[in-house]
Structures are given as C-alpha cells and as structure tokens.
Amino acid sequence: MNPDSNANPAAARLADIYQQAIAAAGAVPYVRDYVTNRFMFMGDGIEALTGYTASEITPALWQSLHDPECRFGSSSGWSEERIHTRDGSDRWIADSFVETVNEQGVPTGSVGILQDITERRLARDVVQATNLRLESALARLQAVQEQMVQQERLRAMGEMASGIAHDFNNALAPVLGFAELLLANPEQLDKVERITQYVTNIRTATLDAAAVVRRLSEFYRQPGPAEAKRPLDLNALINQTVLLTQPKWRDQAIVSGYRVELDERLAPVPVVHGVEAELREAFTNLIFNAVDALPTGGVITVSSSGEDGCALVRVSDTGMGMTAETRQRCFEPFYTTKGLRGTGLGLAMVHGIITRHGGTIEVESELNCGTTFVIRLLGSGAAEVLMAPRQANPTKAGLRILVAEDEPLVREVICQLLRLEGHDVIAVDNGVQALDYLRTTACEVVITDRSMPRMSGDELALAMVQHGIETPVILLTGIGEFIRNSDAKLPGIRSVVSKPVTLTALREAIAAVLTPE
C-alpha cells in the first residue's frame, strides 16, 4: 500500500526511501488515519510478518489478529503484542508509534513501525524460566544447607551427650549418697556439725548439676534473628567454651582409650563487640576439629593475646596436620576429609561467623606437624570497659508473696525459704488459683513456675496485665538462660530465675522487681 506518486512525486520518493531504510532494519512502517479508520500507508514487510499483503490489511483485520490476553505496554507510544498469522502460527511484535493531533488536541492518527520480536521474546521467556528454575534450585539448596547445619549442631551435641550424662550423674551421686546416709542413720541427726557438712555437700552437688544443665543450654542456644552485638570479655568466653567442650576432649577421649590435654594460655585482650552465642559456636567447632585431628591423643592449646588493638585467638593441636590442598580448601562448604563422620560445614560456619564479626581467620598447618587456626577480631576501643551487673538492694521482711508451683516438693522448698526470710507466703498449685486469689487480695510479689497445668506462668502474667493487676511477677523455669537471652519479652514478667532455685537467687530477684526502674 503506497501513497499516490502522481499527487506528490517528491513525497512518494521520500516515502520510498523511508520504507527502504526501515525495511533494512527489519521493521514495517505504517500511517493510520483515525478519522477514516484506515491505514493510509502500510509497509510491504507486513506480509512476511503476518501472511497478509499490505493491501489486505485493514484496521478491523489488524485488530482481529491480536491476542487480547497477551498485550503489554502503553496505550500511547509503545506496546508488545502477540498476533495470530495467516498460517496459524503466533508471532510477537513491538509497535512503536507517535500520535498526530488536531488543533483541539484530539488524536487524529498515528505514525509508527512494527518489529518482529518473536525470537527476542522467546529468548527472554527462556531466560525467565531458567531464572525461576535457578531460584527454585537455590531455595532447595539453602534448605538442604540449613538442614545440614542443624545436623552438624546435633552431631556435636550427640558427641557431648555421653560426657554430659557422665558429669550429671557425678553431680547427682553425692546428693543421693548423703541423703541415704541421713535416712539410714537417723541417730546422727543430732550431730549438728556432721549434718551441716552433709547438707553443704548436697547443696554443692546440686549446684554442680545445675551448672551442667546450664552449660548444655548455652552450648545449644542459637542467636535470635535480631540479636545485637555487645561488648564481650573474650577470655571469659573462651574459658566457658573449654568447660562446655570438656566432655568431648577429655571424657570421651578417655573412654576411647587415649588422652587429650587442653592447655589454656590466656593473656589480656581488648574488649570486642560480638554475638556471644555465635563466637561460642565458632570456638566450639575449632576445639572439636582439633579433637578429631588427634585420633590417638595429644595436646590442644587455646591461647589469646592483644596485638595492635586487636584480640588474637589461636587454637592449635599436635595432630595429623593438613595437606596443601586441604589447607587451601578447608573453609569451603561441604569440603571434608572425615568421610561419613563429617558434613564439611564446621569450619565453613566458623569462617562465616568470624567474617560477620569483621574479623579474619587463617590456618597454619603442615602434614604430620599439627594445625593452628588464628582468629583476629578488632577491639572495640581501649577506653571501653565491661559493665558489672547491677547489685540488687536487700529486701525488707514481711512481704506478702504468692507462690504458684504445681510440683509439691518444689513448692514446699520455695515457701520455706521465703518464710525463713520472714515473708507471708500464700501457696497455690496452678495459675487459675493464683489469678482468682489476686483478683480479691493484694500481694507485693508473685512467684510462678512457667510450666503448670490449666494456666502456665506466662499465661498468668498476661492475664494479670489484662486484668490491670500490677503486682511484679518472677518466673521460675528450667530454661531461664534461654528466656533471659531472648529478644522476645514476656508480658508482665519482671524477672526470670533458673531452677533449681537458691535462697540467694530468690533474694536478688525480689529485690530487683521491687527496685524502681
């Protein structure tokens, strides 16, 4: 469909040149008149694009070729559309146009070009489909990696389990033994000095058992999603990690018939900012890795020092060492030389933790000459000091205290300890009874167990808030460290005390909740 050359030869010549230039670019030019609703001009390339000649194309036919559900773009200026061609195939076109307007600004027509973008569109669809497959594969990989990281933690805990059981049984043995001595020899009950010694031994052993549970809780505790970095005493953290890992490097080694010694050489280091649980996990993995490198026994040395404002930690072993390839690849995820005994994630996790803390970790090792991991963490500044915990003020006697505890023996112990301090104690065995009492009678303090039938300690505290009861609540639980370190604050809870409860802990908790904030 070409313009009339007799009417305007110059215009016809320009139109031919315009058409040839656009056709060379693989495009089809057109001019459309909205007033007469017809194409004033349509390039000959339209036949290759649609199967219809330029003279056959009318606005009505052109509209019928379009798939209305496959149109993207703007109503003025540009669009991408799928069309059905004469032979039944589908093609994608890009329509770029400019509208003409009259003096009143009303569109009267358009001038544009059509381009075949089928191959480009198919390629884009392939890329999008590939991206979706890659995203799906990445999600599956991340899920598998998280599962393996969890398995790595559980494996480490499993290795500690027998040692923890050994330590716990050792701690319980004096409790049972001295209790049986007292029951079997009632005639000794009047010997105050001996009874005092027995009871002191029972108390010490009980605290040791509680420390074993606390160490196990600290080992497994994972940092919350928003746990903030804070100033840390790195040497105290290292010492705690050594105690946590003792069941593996000492007790399990002895059971296996060999001996592993751990030498701590801790020197003054700068205070560092970090997430305690993450750094503990890193040091734990390094010690476990050192134990694995000592299949027949040896020495592990954990040392610290300060250098140029940084804290340096070295974990060394006298074990089998590494080859050059292992030394280069040991921090790679899933790389392991332990076969089925390893996941290849331990050292990768350590590397990630240290990197997130802005530090560096290097490995020094030669085959049959042992291995040393060197961690460097930036100090937070020489002027910074760790804040000592606030000391609770002593409490006055004669407080009315409500105790909610479903275990009779535990309830009796707590009540007797509080009465020993001169307090008026009311005891109930569940949260419902406690709430009923508080609705009619005022108390200065509520001490409640967390796990109780009918209404837990958490639920009791929340119900008190909802009923406008402002009595401070002390929560007793066997997972006190978890709750204290959690970002989630329990409504109404003013203090958390770990079981087993001591008189000192009760005194400090009561003083703390009665001290104005």
Here the tokens at position 59 are 């606005």
The chain-wide mean pLDDT, for the chain, equals: 81
Q: Is the pLDDT of residue 40 over 50?
A: yes
Helix/strand number for the chain, H first, E second: 15, 18
Question: Can you say whether residue 478 is alpha, beta or left, with left for phi > 0 and alpha for psi between -120 and 50 degrees?
Answer: alpha
Element (H, E) at 317: strand 310-317
Handedness of CA 497, 499, 501, 504 (dihedral sign): negative
pLDDT tier for residue 223 given thresholds of 50, 70 and 90: low
- Residues 363, 317: Cα–Cα separation, whole Å: 12
pLDDT tens per residue across span 379-396:
876 434 444 444 444 567
- Residues 427, 447: Cα–Cα separation, whole Å: 10
DSSP secondary structure letters along 203-237:
HHHHHHHHHHHHHHHHHH----TTPPPEEE-HHHH
Mean pLDDT of 174-203: 78
488: Cβ–Cβ under 8 A, 6 or more apart, which residues? 224
- Confirm if 288 and 281 have CB atoms less than 8 A apart: no
- Residues 30, 19: Cα–Cα separation, whole Å: 9
SS3 call for 73: strand
- Residues 459, 403: Cα–Cα separation, whole Å: 15
Q: Is the peptide bond before 500 cis (omega within 30 degrees of 0)?
A: yes
Query: Among residues 155, 172, 243, which one has the least CA distance to residue 207?
Result: 172
CATH code, 230-378: 3.30.565.10
- Confirm if 17 and 5 have CB atoms less than 8 A apart: no
177-216 as b/e, with b when 16 or more CB fall inside 10 Å? ebeeebeeeeeeeeeeeeeeebeeebeebbebbbebbbbb
- Confirm if 323 and 335 have CB atoms less than 8 A apart: no
Token pair 């305690």 is at which residue? 276
Mean pLDDT of 160-186: 67
- Residues 156, 341: Cα–Cα separation, whole Å: 11
| Beta-sheet pairing, 445-449 with 473-477 | parallel
Residue 51 is given by DSSP the state S
Most confident of 215-224, 299-308, 340-349, 503-512: 299-308
Beta bridge partners of 400: 424
What are phi and psi for residue 91, nearest 5 degrees? -135, 155
- Domain range list for the chain: 9-116, 145-220, 230-378, 400-514
- Residues 356, 352: Cα–Cα separation, whole Å: 6
191: Cβ–Cβ under 8 A, 6 or more apart, which residues? none
pLDDT of amino acid 169: 64
pLDDT of amino acid 163: 53
- Residues 57, 62: Cα–Cα separation, whole Å: 6
pLDDT of amino acid 399: 92
Class in CATH terms, 9-116: alpha beta
Mean pLDDT of 302-313: 93
- CATH superfamily for 400-514 is Response regulator (3.40.50.2300)
- Residues 223, 405: Cα–Cα separation, whole Å: 30
**Angle between helix 408-420 and helix 503-514 axes, rounded to 10 deg:** 70
SS3 call for 296: coil
pLDDT tens per residue across span 58-77:
999 998 998 887 777 655 68
Question: Can you say whether residue 275 is alpha, beta or left, with left for phi > 0 and alpha for psi between -120 and 50 degrees?
Answer: beta
478 alpha-carbon distance from chain centroid? 24
pLDDT tens per residue across span 14-29:
666 666 666 666 789 8
| Beta-sheet pairing, 260-266 with 473-477 | unpaired
- Confirm if 266 and 309 have CB atoms less than 8 A apart: no
Q: What is the pTM of this model?
A: 0.46
Choice among 16-25, 187-196, 503-512 with the minimum mean pLDDT: 16-25
SS3 call for 422: coil
108: Cβ–Cβ under 8 A, 6 or more apart, which residues? 33, 34, 35, 100, 101, 102
Percent of the chain with pLDDT over 70: 77
Q: Give whole-number Cα distances, 496 to 50, 461, 484, in Å.
A: 77, 12, 7
